[in-house]
């Protein structure tokens, strides 16, 4: 893991991290509470959490010795922006198709 400055695309490329996000979409959780759901060791989860945090997918509130993880929208926004570009692409393609069909109808 080592270098924790992955971009959002690399962050969600890992299935374990996606599952962590999914768990957090149900409930706020501590590191150990998350780790229980995985085969991997707690340190491994801990590293994933750091990655998710650095990329803006979660925020963390320390309560005593516990770290409570909560979903955070920032990371998702970057992905939405990227996808929106292609949504527009498909939208435009449909528009053009519509124009073509209109032309055809009018000539008819």
Partner DNA sequence: ATGATAGGTAACCTTTAAGTTACTCAAATG
Partner DNA sequence: CATTTGAGTAACTTAAAGGTTACCTATCAT
Q: Summarize as ranges the residues that interact with a copy of itself (CB under 8 A).
A: 7, 9-10, 12-13, 15, 18, 21, 25, 71, 73, 76, 79-80, 82-83, 85-87, 89-90
Distances (CA, A) of 100 to 60, 87, 91, 95, 96: 52, 20, 14, 9, 6
Nearer to a copy of itself, 60 or 79 (CB): 79
Residues within window 32-91 making contact with DNA, judged by CB under 7 A: 32-33, 39-44, 46-51, 63-67
Residue 51 Cβ vs a copy of itself, minimum distance, rounded to whole Å: 13
| Cβ pair 11, 55 in contact under 8 A | yes
């Amino acid at each position: 893991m080592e270098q924790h400055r992955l971009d959002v695309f690399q962050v969600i490329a890992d299935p374990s991290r996606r599952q962590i996000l999914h768990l957090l979409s149900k409930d706020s959780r501590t590191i150990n509470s998350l780790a229980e759901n995985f085969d991997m060791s707690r340190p491994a989860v801990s590293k994933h959490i750091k990655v998710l945090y650095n990329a803006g997918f979660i925020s963390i509130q320390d309560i005593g010795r516990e770290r409570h993880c909560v979903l955070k929208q920032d990371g998702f926004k970057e992905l939405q922006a990227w996808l929106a570009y292609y949504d527009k692409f498909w939208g435009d393609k449909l528009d053009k198709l519509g124009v073509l069909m209109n032309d055809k109808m009018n000539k008819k």
